[in-house]
Every structure is written in structure tokens, then in C-alpha cells.
Amino acid sequence: MLGMNKNDTRMLLLVAALTMLAPFILNPFPTDSGLAQFNAGYPDLMQRFVIFGIFAIGFNILFGLTGYLSFGHAAFLGVGSYSAVWMFKLLAMNVIPAILLSVAMAGIFALLIGYVSLRRSGIYFSILTLAFAQMSFNLAYSVLTPITNGETGLQLNLDDPRILGVSQTADGSIPVTNLFGLEMRSTFEMAVGPWAFQFNAGYYLCALILLAVFYLSIRIFRSPFGLMLKAVKSNQQRMNYTGLNTRPYTLAAFVISGMYAGLAGGLLASMDPLAGAERMQWTASGEVVLMTILGGAGTLIGPVLGAGFIKYFENIFSKINESVLHSWFSILPDGLEDLLVTLVYPFVGKGWHMTLGILFVLVVVFLPGGLVEGGQRIVSWLRSKKSDDKAANGKTEPAE
């Protein structure tokens, strides 16, 4: 199917099912339930799940295939966001031109940075990418203020000279982003008993784009180009000794990865037309590294799982406060309740980073392949147990 083997086809169908049915999957608890706080089926949060999934998929093409660890990919995310907002300000509120410009500008920027950074490898490459990202971050705050609007961030105004659209609507407000008239904030809510499911136009646009770029990543992984990148990761020095110049391949991977990041930045601006320099900070680059390693670097679906896992922690797990904990342990004696709240609170709410850090350490130590390896181990264990049960049931007594 579409040039893929059975396993890749199943994986693509699995991702399609997860993204298309996300409003149901992420809202398992009734809205009036005490566990409703763990629901994550909100349009803005679902959009972030898939957008950062795209970001992580692109990063995995560089890091997972070639082994080059970049700490500067947030620069391309920021370039994509700024490009999209400028397209909204100058041309139209249609998201297609903004997304295309984001990908193109991020690709050009990645070509320039990659051309210089890939002259070195290992830790030196990582330091160079980090330096370029921090320079971009500081330039966005200072020298490039006429373009980026500095600390305030680039946003839409009522006096924007929009060529193919109006600067303001009939009621005097700023136009909203749309896809040929379909507003990205348009949301349909379906109530099924005590459950409420929200279907957002912007989310499904991001989900369809995620499926497209995920399919593209599969084709890259299985192509001769992808095999060459894997060979670079395996032993680049030996390849150089054979007379093969690996730099064009690594540069191509760097540019493709940067274009993925630019696409993610463009989608962020398309859902919320605001771009700030904080998207280019080194912490954003570190976040995508965590997503990829946590999910499983070098795997296809791992970065998507890692992105969803971290964004869930950031937006849901971090909201657990002392009052929520007291409600959980309210059936216990007062002294024991206060003790448990005191012990648990540092790991939730504002301390969710500590829990994430512990989980990351455990994954790196015990599951080097990330969440994907964990899933594979569980499946292997279930299969072996099933085989043992069949063998036990089919056991026959020897003849006398």
C-alpha cells in the first residue's frame, strides 16, 4: 500500500486512528466526574499534540537516522512562526500560503546553519547548533525588533496592509485564520450523556498534515537515502575512507528536519497568530530532544508518542495542586492525609518537571529504545506467555 510494507501500513493506520479519534480517546471521563481533570480533549491541547509530533518527527530524521544531535532546532520553529504571521499581516488570512512560506523560510535558514555546523560532528556540531539558535533568539529580542517586535512578539493589528483580505471585519475586530473560509477556531461540540466531545477544524487540519509528514518520514526511512543516513550513524568515518562524501546526505537530512520544524512553527501561528522569541530559546530545542529520546529515537512512531506524553504532562499533570490532592486523600485520617499530600505535592503541579526527569532517567537506563521498546517488550512477553500456555495445554503424557 502506497509503497509501504505491511508493518509500516499498520503503523500509519494506527497513527491515523489515534489522530482522527483523538476527541474520544482523550476524553475518557465524564465532564462532571472528579477525574475529568485528566481529560485532554481540548482543541488547543490536541493541536499542540500533533504540532509538536510533527516537530519531533522532523528532528528524528536528523537525530534518529544520522546520530547528529542538534540543540538548535527551535530556531527553525521560530522562523516558521514569524514567517506565517508576516504572511497573515501582508497577504491573507488563509493558512496555506503562511504554511508554505514557513516551510520555505525554515528550509533556507536550515541550509545556511547546516552548511556551517556540519563541518564538525559530535559534541562540536551540537554546540554550533546551540550557538546559532541562541544568536537567533537574541537577535529576535534586539537587532531584529522591527521584524520580530522584540519582547512583545509579532501579532496581528487592525491596520495590517493585507493585500488579499480585509484589515478588520465589519464589527471592527481582527480577522481570524481560515482555510478557504473555514475558520481554524471553528469547533463542533457533541454531547453524549455526561461526556462532551469537541471537534475542531484547526486540529483536524494539523492531524491531516501530521499523517502526510508521517507517511513521508516512513518513505525516507525505507529509501536508499534513509539507508545512507543509517550508514552515517553506524560508521561515518569508514564511509569517508571508502571515498564517499557523506556531507551532502547529512546536509539534506538537516534541511528536511529544519523544514519539518518550520512547518510546526507555521501551524502554531496558524492556530494562534502570534510569534515570540521564546519559541527559539534553547529550552524548546531541549524539549524536542526529550520527546524523541523518550518516545524512541530512530523509530517511526516514537517521536509522536514522546511529544504527546510530554505535552500531556505539561498541560494536565501540572495542574494538580494541593486542593486536588486533598480531595484524593480525603477518606484518610487527617494526619495521614496531610503527610501524603506533603510527600506527593513536590512531584505534581509546579514540580511536574521532577516527575518527568525521573521518568526520563528510568527510560534511558532501562528502556534505551524509549516507549516503543517498552511496548515491544510487553508484546513479546504476552506472545511468549501465550505460546507457553498453548504448549502446556497441548502437552501429552508418554505411553506406558
> CA torsion angle for 148, 52, 118, 225 (degrees, to 10)?
-130
Would you place residue 399 in the very low, low, confident or very high pLDDT band (cuts 50, 70, 90)? Answer: very low
Question: Is 360 within the bounds of a domain?
Answer: no
| DSSP classification of residue 42 | -
pLDDT tier, 268 (very low <50, low <70, confident <90, very high otherwise):
very high
How many domains does the chain contain in total?
1
Task: Identify whether 323 is part of a domain.
Answer: no
Q: Is 53 within a domain?
A: yes
- Name the band, by pLDDT with cuts 50, 70 and 90, for residue 395: low
Beta bridge pairs of residue 24: none
Residues 6+ apart with CB under 8 A from 385: none
Q: What is the pTM of this model?
A: 0.91
Please check the confidence at residue 5 and state whether its pLDDT lies above 50.
Answer: yes
Whole-number Å distance between alpha carbons of 84 and 94: 10
**In-domain check, residue 217:** yes
> Does the pLDDT value for residue 391 go beyond 80?
no
Task: Flag whether 325 is in a domain.
Answer: no
Q: Residue 364 domain-assigned? A: no
Residue 334 lies in a domain: no
> The domain that contains 42 carries what CATH number?
1.10.3470
Model confidence band, residue 36 (pLDDT cutoffs 50, 70, 90)? confident
Residue 383 lies in a domain: no
Q: Is the pLDDT of residue 400 over 70?
A: no
* Domain that includes residue 135, residue range: 6-282
If pLDDT is split at 50, 70 and 90, which confidence band does 317 have? Answer: confident
Q: Which of 358, 356, 230, 376 is nearest to 302 (CA)?
A: 376
Amino acid occupying residue 109: F
- pLDDT confidence band for 394 (50 / 70 / 90): low
Does the structure show a pLDDT above 70 at 94?
yes
If one counts every other C-beta atom within 10 angstroms of the C-beta of residue 68, the result is: 24
Gap between the Cα atoms of 289 and 310, Å rounded = 11
